[in-house]
Structure 1
Amino acid sequence: MAVLALDAKYNVFRTPNNPQFRTLYLRRRSQILREKSTLDRDPTLLKEYLKIRSTLLSQRYGLPSTFDQSEDSLFKHYQHHSQQQQQQQEDINRMQEEFLERFRLDDQQPIITPTSLAGASRAMAGEQTISENYSFSGVHHIFDQHKMAGKSIDCVKFAHDDKSRLACCSLDGQISVCQLVPPPATVICLFQGHTAGVYDFSWSLSNDTILSCSADATSRLWQVSSGQCLRVIPNPNGSEVLSCLFQPANNNLFATGDARHTLQIMNLSTGKVVKGGISNLSGSVQCLCFDSSGKLLWAGDSKGYVTSFLFDLISGRLIRAKKLHISDGHSVTSICSRSWLSRECRDPSLLVNCSNNMLSLLRLVYNEGGLQIRRRLPIRQRTHNIRSTFCPIMSFRTGICVVSGSEDSTIYFFDVTKESKYCINTLQGHSGPVLDVSFAHDESLLASSDSTGVVIVWKREQR
């Protein structure tokens, strides 16, 4: 009866526009308490339960733990709380508008798009077509240090603005840092410490540290020069950490996504979640991506959704913006962003892999804070976490190139501006599904990893 009395105390706040449901709620609560509750047989448990439930209810309805129970007073307090919530929402909306204002496109200024008549641009590019530009002369090097374990290499990345260093992580629990130039190419460091497979990693802006995440429910910070583990950050949820990413404007903060559907912003110094830096998604958080400014964050989950968040650079707080459904029940495995697709095309976009055999190009609608599907391209992807990337150089050529792995062991190059004959090149050499691809900043080298534990570094033809 004490529990029912507590629920009745707050009943005036439930469904204020539909008072008939209040009685129905109390009846159902009474039925459940009679059938399943053991609280009345344990006074200590009952006291603790009442304390916790009172706290939760007071937080839910914005009330102190003790208050005037007269109905007039309750309604006044409820109205005041509603006004506070409305004001908070207005503040959030204003923050969103201020942030998104800098991305609004000027309606008075026409957007320049690639055209076959752009003779000056073609001349600057050396008159090469986009397919000629992305032809490769052969293999620069093959790394197979993880092949003996028989585990896949889920992620491979060049260091920022540095084509000489390449890192890859494996489900054997290790991370390799490789030196490509000057030759001969070699493995210069092997990070060992994770007790289970490593799913993802991120280079710091200065390239002196690497952040990794693993199935052992931890994230780790590594010093590249020595291979030493500088810090171990346990996941507060105790679940597998599937994705991680440094905050580009502040490398003391990083984002993680785990198997319990939780996106978290964590402080590297304290190892704790930032206040207001946590959000729950529809499924396990498979991939993360910041925009170049660090003020927008996208998360892809196992249910097929891409969720946008505004990121407060000062506090680390996340504000959920928009949500786009890519495909029902098919996992989103990779997100890559570009602010400018080419020097002649002002069109901020996301490149998204999804396990529905599709690579999707999304357009960012900043004045709405949302996303729109602009283009879908077929690849082979059903069971593996395939990743893709934009080609890093903003070209003067007609056409925009993206690269993706595939489960048919092939690397695909697509011109996303073409409606037909959009596949401009393929690379074959892997003996298993190609899971990730990464371009060096000057596009001279392309690295790809596969499910057999092999990394191939491809050399682009110089014209």
Structure 2
Amino acid sequence: MAAAFQQQIFALDARFNAYRAPNNPNFKQVSVVKFANNDRSKLCCGSDDGTVSICDVTATPPRVSFILDGHTKPVTGGSSILGGRVLSIACESSGRMFWAANDKGVIVSYRMDSAGGGLSKLRRCIVGGAVTCLSWSPWLARHPALLVSAADNSLYLFRIIDREGNLQLKKRFEVLHTQHSVKSTFCPIMSFRRGVCVVSGSEDSCVYFLDIEGHAEHPVVNKLQGHASPVIGVSFSYDESLLATSDVTGLVIIWRRS
């Protein structure tokens, strides 16, 4: 939270002795303060100068740990949690890192401590609509990848570029998706000689196969038509011989690979 103002922030330690929080370099109004959810030493301060200060209020003396200055207008709110309704989760193969996404279009990476079970929030990415599906793949052009179905008529393909789960947009595909919980998935068997495909449901009642390594102008390599309602569920058998799809009326179709 942003840098504090001239009147300074006051806090109370465990012995209820009042002390002054650290002097801040800016002199604008601080509109919001918020403690971290699992760490009483960390206080976030949002300022009208557009900065966010993270303060260590239990240090002697208290200090500003770091300042975030990406905002151009007053900071009036903030939170250290994902917020919204979590709609989808994807986990890497080791189980130590996962991504959670909500109905606000926010995707956050987390790391789990296998020894103590602690959870660390890492990186954040925002897309233009509610995220209804996340799918992880271990290898795509030498990087693991995350496939994201978002309710802004988009299917996003992100590269995972580091050990903190940072996402870098590789491609975006148009898929009719604004209202329902449309799902997508990587094809289990990736052949770079024949193309790398993903499959997505759609609110136009079709199932789309898209080549994510081919030409961006014509990504659709196959379209299955059998549903009469928005298709929301897609799932492959491990050997890609069968594909199951479901729609909003409860109809499930099993497609056999010819």
Across the two proteins, how many residue pairs are aligned to each other? 213
Structure 2 counterpart of 1:323, one-letter code: R
Cα distance in 1 for residues equivalent to 2:91 and 2:84: 19
Alignment match, 1:386: 182
2:86 is the counterpart of 1:79: no
Show the 5 A alignment for 1:202-351. Answer: 280-327=81-128, 330-341=129-140, 345-351=141-147
Question: Highest Rg: 1 or 2?
Answer: 1
Alignment match, 1:10: 18
Cα distance in 1 for residues equivalent to 2:117 and 2:107: 20
Distance verdict in 2 for CA 1:386–1:397, change over 3 Å? same
Show the 5 A alignment for 1:64-463. Answer: 78-79=59-60, 280-327=81-128, 330-341=129-140, 345-366=141-162, 369-418=165-214, 419-461=216-258
Structure 2 counterpart of 1:388, one-letter code: S
Give yes or no for contact 1:402–1:413 (8 Å, CA) kept in 2. Answer: yes
| 3-state SS of paired residue (2:20) | helix
Cα distance in 1 for residues equivalent to 2:96 and 2:253: 34
Give yes or no for contact 1:61–1:81 (8 Å, CA) kept in 2. Answer: no
Give yes or no for contact 2:109–2:164 (8 Å, CA) kept in 1. Answer: no
Map Cα deviations across residues 194-232 of structure 1 (whole Å, 9 max, x no partner): xxxxxxxxxxxxxxxxxxxxxxxxxxxxxxxxxxxxxxx
Distance verdict in 2 for CA 1:373–1:9, change over 3 Å? same
Map Cα deviations across residues 45-89 of structure 1 (whole Å, 9 max, x no partner): xxxxxxxxxxx9xx7458xxxxxxxxxxxxx97336769x89xxx
Per-residue deviation at 1:18? 5.5
Distance verdict in 2 for CA 1:79–1:411, change over 3 Å? same
Map Cα deviations across residues 263-295 of structure 1 (whole Å, 9 max, x no partner): xxxxxxxxxxxxxxxx72132111001011111
**TM-score normalised according to structure 2 size:** 0.73
Distance verdict in 2 for CA 1:82–1:360, change over 3 Å? same
Alignment match, 1:265: none
**TM-score normalised according to structure 1 size:** 0.42
Cα distance in 1 for residues equivalent to 2:219 and 2:152: 19
Distance verdict in 2 for CA 1:408–1:441, change over 3 Å? same
Cα distance in 1 for residues equivalent to 2:247 and 2:19: 58
Unaligned runs of 5+ in 2: 1-9, 43-56, 67-79
Unaligned runs of 5+ in 1: 29-55, 63-75, 87-278
Map Cα deviations across residues 148-207 of structure 1 (whole Å, 9 max, x no partner): xxxxxxxxxxxxxxxxxxxxxxxxxxxxxxxxxxxxxxxxxxxxxxxxxxxxxxxxxxxx
Cα distance in 2 for residues equivalent to 1:5 and 1:440: 57
Give yes or no for contact 1:434–1:450 (8 Å, CA) kept in 2. Answer: yes
| 3-state SS of paired residue (1:399) | coil
Cα distance in 1 for residues equivalent to 2:134 and 2:212: 16
Give yes or no for contact 1:340–1:394 (8 Å, CA) kept in 2. Answer: no
Give yes or no for contact 2:201–2:234 (8 Å, CA) kept in 1. Answer: yes
Which of 1 and 2 has higher RCO (CA within 8 Å, sep 6+)? 1
Cα distance in 2 for residues equivalent to 1:295 and 1:361: 21
Alignment match, 2:7: none
| 3-state SS of paired residue (1:340) | strand
Map Cα deviations across residues 315-364 of structure 1 (whole Å, 9 max, x no partner): 2211111101111xx201100000113xxx32311100000001000011
Per-residue deviation at 1:5? 11
Which structure has more strand as a fraction of its residues? 2
| 3-state SS of paired residue (2:59) | helix
| 3-state SS of paired residue (1:321) | strand
Give yes or no for contact 2:87–2:101 (8 Å, CA) kept in 1. Answer: yes
Structure 2 counterpart of 1:78, one-letter code: A
Cα distance in 1 for residues equivalent to 2:146 and 2:41: 39
Percent identity, aligned pairs only, is: 40
